[in-house]
């Protein structure tokens, strides 16, 4: 699996340490093992997990600006765990409402020795952090409208929302709230992944 990961990283132009590579491989092994009992993801094969979960998460890394991030509806820790592994200098809160997913994340943290991850079991609209986040990440949210309305209280004034999408969501963008603007759209290249990937960056429009 390490050989496969090395090939994918090379194609994506991502340079990380050997320790980080080992941690990513171990993350896939744990996900594969837990998935049999807890059904955490519909992706069953470790090689497919490397592409659809690990690389699909890592390509977001160059677009993380700041130190504090929250991954909303993280599921089994995606994209939060892979991003935390390769960004040890940044802090990640991983939020999900399902206990089995949070338990999995705790187990991964324990086995990989991750100290920059805080798992939180809560519904996003009920979660009230003491301080805001530089970036609010979401990978599997139903719609942009839901994400932006349920997560409106999470970023700092300068913070942004980072939404991972497949195809460019023109219809959803037409229904953006009036106080939100799209500041960037990045086309992501994920090696061996079929279909398009886009990262949309939003910010609150600050009153003058």
Largest CA distance in the chain: 53
Domain boundaries defined on the chain: 1-204
State yes or no: 78 annotated in a binding site: yes
- State yes or no: pLDDT of 192 exceeds 90: yes
- State yes or no: pLDDT of 208 exceeds 80: no
Report the alpha-carbon distance of residue 58 to residue 193 in Å, rounded: 13
- State yes or no: pLDDT of 142 exceeds 80: no
The percent of residues above 90 in pLDDT, for the chain, comes to 95
Q: Which pLDDT value is given to residue 25?
A: 98
pTM exceeds cut of 0.75: yes
The CATH class, in words, for 1-204 is alpha beta
pLDDT band at 64 (very low <50, low <70, confident <90, very high): very high
pLDDT band at 123 (very low <50, low <70, confident <90, very high): very high
Chain mean pLDDT for the chain:
96
Residues contacting residue 97 through CB under 8 Å, at least 6 positions apart: 121, 122, 123, 124
Q: Which pLDDT value is given to residue 140?
A: 76
Average pLDDT over residues 117-136: 97
Question: Between helices 18-38 and 2-12, what is the axis angle to 10°?
Answer: 120
Residues contacting residue 168 through CB under 8 Å, at least 6 positions apart: 185, 196, 198
State yes or no: 125 annotated in a binding site: yes
Report the alpha-carbon distance of residue 93 to residue 119 in Å, rounded: 6
Long-range contacts, stretch 153-157, CB < 8 angstroms, 24+ apart: 153/128, 154/70, 154/72, 154/124, 154/127, 154/129, 155/203, 155/204, 156/131, 156/132, 157/132, 157/204, 157/206
Per-residue pLDDT reduced to its tens digit, 90-114: 999 999 999 999 999 999 999 999 9
Per-residue pLDDT reduced to its tens digit, 13-46: 999 999 999 999 999 999 999 999 999 999 999 9
Question: Between helices 18-38 and 99-112, what is the axis angle to 10°?
Answer: 150
State yes or no: 139 annotated in a binding site: yes
Average pLDDT over residues 77-84: 98
pLDDT band at 206 (very low <50, low <70, confident <90, very high): confident
State yes or no: 124 annotated in a binding site: yes
State yes or no: 60 annotated in a binding site: no
């Amino acid at each position: 699996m390490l050989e496969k990961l090395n090939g994918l990283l090379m194609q994506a132009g991502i340079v990380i340490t050997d320790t980080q590579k080992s941690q990513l491989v171990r993350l896939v092994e744990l996900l594969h093992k837990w998935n049999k009992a807890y059904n955490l993801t519909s992706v069953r094969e470790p090689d497919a997990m490397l592409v659809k979960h690990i690389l699909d998460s890592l390509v977001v890394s160059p677009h993380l600006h700041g130190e504090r991030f929250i991954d909303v509806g993280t599921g089994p820790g995606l994209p939060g765990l892979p991003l935390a592994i390769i960004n040890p200098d940044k802090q990640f809160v991983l939020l999900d409402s399902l206990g089995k997913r949070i338990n999995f994340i705790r187990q991964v943290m324990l086995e990989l020795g991750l100290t920059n991850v805080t798992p939180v079991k809560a519904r996003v609209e009920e979660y009230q952090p003491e301080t805001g986040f530089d970036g609010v990440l979401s990978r599997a949210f139903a719609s942009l409208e839901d994400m932006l309305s349920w997560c409106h209280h999470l970023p700092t004034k300068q913070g942004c929302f980072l939404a991972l999408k497949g195809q460019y969501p023109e219809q959803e963008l037409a229904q953006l709230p009036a106080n939100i603007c799209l500041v960037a759209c990045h086309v992501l290249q994920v090696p061996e992944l079929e279909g398009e990937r886009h990262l949309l960056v939003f910010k609150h429009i600050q009153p003058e």
